[in-house]
Chain A
Amino acid sequence: MQKLANPKLFLRLADMVRPWVLGATIVLLVLGLYLAIVQAPQDYQQGETVRIMFVHVPAAWMALFVYSFMALAHGAGLVFRHPIAHIAAKAAAPIGACFTFLALATGSLWGKPMWGTWWVWDARLTSMFVLFLLYLGYLAVWSAFGEDNRAARIASVVALVGFINVPIVKFSVDWWNSLHQPASVLRAGGPSIDSSLLTPLFIMALAYAGLFVTLWLLAMKAEVLTRRIHQMQVAQAGEA
């Protein structure tokens, strides 16, 4: 793990791994979309709209996963003092923000036919909206401070404090009467969804995860190159 802190080594590893991840992602996406759109049966109550679940739930899961990844990365960066760990979080943030936006948008599109309303301030929706705000605030920090060490440390504070808030928000608003359905996958008694719907869901979730890794690796490469460019510009300015 320590060796990955070396940007050159990380890039070489990333370049090796990326095509495979991309390939797997494409396979999973094609399979998942086929299962979701063609194979999966209509829901007894919801009809076709249940298919929105296959793009909504993976997006929501990724939104939470990516933020956790960012908090972990910053934590590692603070503990081990590797700048690349902070960059890892920075690279992941826009992707996570997009997933959060999609969770909110597809959720709205699912809510209108299902519950008759585009939006309601209940447990899950409020938590997701707060998560979206956390992403925006985090991105604002990087853009306000540029790319030096200072931005990384302030971003760490924002990410870690925000991460503490995520379970707090979920916990605090879970007490509200929830319009959003309660947990049906990660529950004590096992999933309550039929496997004909569960399989496409998991495949799409894996596809979204693969998509995150692929895009994140690309973003990391861009970040590492940006730093290299800066170093070279500084060096060349020094020689001039």
Chain B
Amino acid sequence: MNAVTALIGRDLKTVLRQGSSAGTAVGFFLAVVLLLPLGLGPDQALLARIAPGSLWVALLMSVLLAAEGIFQSDYEDGSLELLTMGETPFEIVALAKALVHWLTTGLPLAVLAPLLGFLLNLPPDQVLPLTASMIIGSLGISLLAVLGAAITVGLRRGGPMLSLIILPLYVPMLVFGVSASSPATAIGGETAASLAILGALSLAALVMVPIAASAALKAHLQ
């Protein structure tokens, strides 16, 4: 456990010093959220209807588009390879990296998104459900972004391939995330069930991604 916290602490310090994909992600997110109402016109009722879904899509896209560089610097300066030779199982390393990504990118965006909902005329009573669903979903979103980065690390134009591979995995999160955030359009009429399933998806990712990402990274480092 100490190794994990040490890793997380070290990564957090690096991120806070150097900046990370978080800046890029926030940038993309702001762009989408500002452009959407401009493009869709002033129909406030329309914006209110599509606000939860649009915010979710903006969240997914911005994390995805910023995911390319997650392992880049560690891969290039060799510290990733060093970590494979260390005592800590590499799966734990991958888990630590994913948690750092969540703390610095996924979670902040998930909290930011509903706050910016007013730009899309998000009804105030939906802010809380949206925040809840985004926070729970953001764990899975971060984990899957890290998996995509692990699969495509070192590739010259890995971005499009990362998106292609991870997008299908995001679909269930999107479906249940939007369903959990908007009582009007919830599947089966109940947001609670969708929220539970969203949580289950995030937890499943928590178990699966460290193993898969570790395998992918080790394949790259050979």
Direct contact of A and B (CB under 8 A): yes
A residues apposed to B, CB below 8 Å: 126, 130-131, 133-134, 136-137, 140-141, 144, 149-150, 153-154, 156-158, 160-162, 164-165, 168-169, 171-173, 175-176
Given A154-B151, A172-B172: A160 and B212 within 8 A (CB)?
yes
The complex places the Cα of A160 from the Cα of B209 at a distance, in Å, of: 11
Task: Collect the chain B residues with CB atoms within 8 Å of residue A133's CB.
Answer: 164, 167-168
With beta carbons under 8 angstroms apart, the residue of A131, A140, A141, A165 that contacts B169 is A165
Q: How many residues of B contact A (CB 8 A)?
A: 28
- A169 touches which one: B165, B172, B197, B208 (CB < 8 A)? B172
In the bound complex, what is the Cα–Cα distance between A134 and B171 (angstroms)?
12
Interface flags for B55-82 (1: CB within 8 Å of A; 0: not) read 0000000000000000000000000000
Smallest CB-CB A-B distances: 10 pairs? A153-B219, A137-B165, A172-B172, A175-B187, A137-B164, A130-B168, A133-B168, A157-B216, A168-B172, A172-B175
Question: Which residues from chain B contact A160 at a C-beta distance below 8 Å?
Answer: 212
Per the 8 Å Cβ criterion, residues 127-161 of B in contact with A are: 147, 151-152, 155, 158, 161
Since A157-B219, A160-B212 are in contact, a sample of 19 more A-B pairs with Cβ atoms closer than 8 Å, ordered by chain A residue number, is: A134-B168, A137-B168, A141-B151, A141-B161, A144-B158, A144-B161, A149-B222, A150-B219, A153-B215, A153-B219, A157-B215, A158-B151, A158-B165, A165-B171, A169-B171, A169-B172, A172-B171, A172-B197, A175-B187
Q: How would you classify the secondary structure of chain A's contact residues: helix, strand, loop or mixed? A: helix
Nearest-neighbour CB distance to chain A for B181, whole angstroms, equals 15
Answer whether residue B124 sits at the interface, using C-beta atoms and an 8 A cutoff: no
Q: Most chain-A CB neighbours within 10 Å: which of B155, B197, B215?
A: B215
How close is A121's CB to chain B, nearest CB, in angstroms? 10
Q: Are A156 and B176 in contact (CB under 8 A)?
A: no
- Which chain B residues have a beta carbon within 8 Å of chain A's beta carbons? 147, 151-152, 155, 158, 161, 164-165, 167-169, 171-172, 175-176, 187-188, 197, 201, 204, 208, 212, 215-216, 218-220, 222
Q: List 11 A-B contacts (CB under 8 A).
A: A133-B164, A140-B161, A149-B222, A153-B219, A154-B151, A154-B219, A154-B220, A157-B151, A162-B168, A168-B172, A171-B172
Contact (Cβ within 8 A) A164 B208: yes
Contacts of A153 on B, CB cut-off 8 Å?
215-216, 218-219
Residue of A nearest to B211 (CB): A157
Shortest CB distance A23–B (Å)? 37
| A101–B41 CA distance with the chains assembled, in angstroms | 36
Q: How far is the CB of B184 from chain A (nearest CB, A)?
A: 15
Give the docked Cα–Cα distance between A173 and B165 (Å): 19
Contact of A140 with B175 at beta-carbon distance under 8 Å, contacts A154-B216, A158-B151, A175-B187 already known: no
Q: Which of A149, A158, A171, A172 has the most C-beta atoms of chain B within 10 angstroms of its own C-beta? A: A172
Known: A154-B151, A161-B212, A175-B188. A169 touches B176 (CB 8 A): no
How near does chain B come to A73, taking the closest CB pair, in angstroms?
Answer: 16
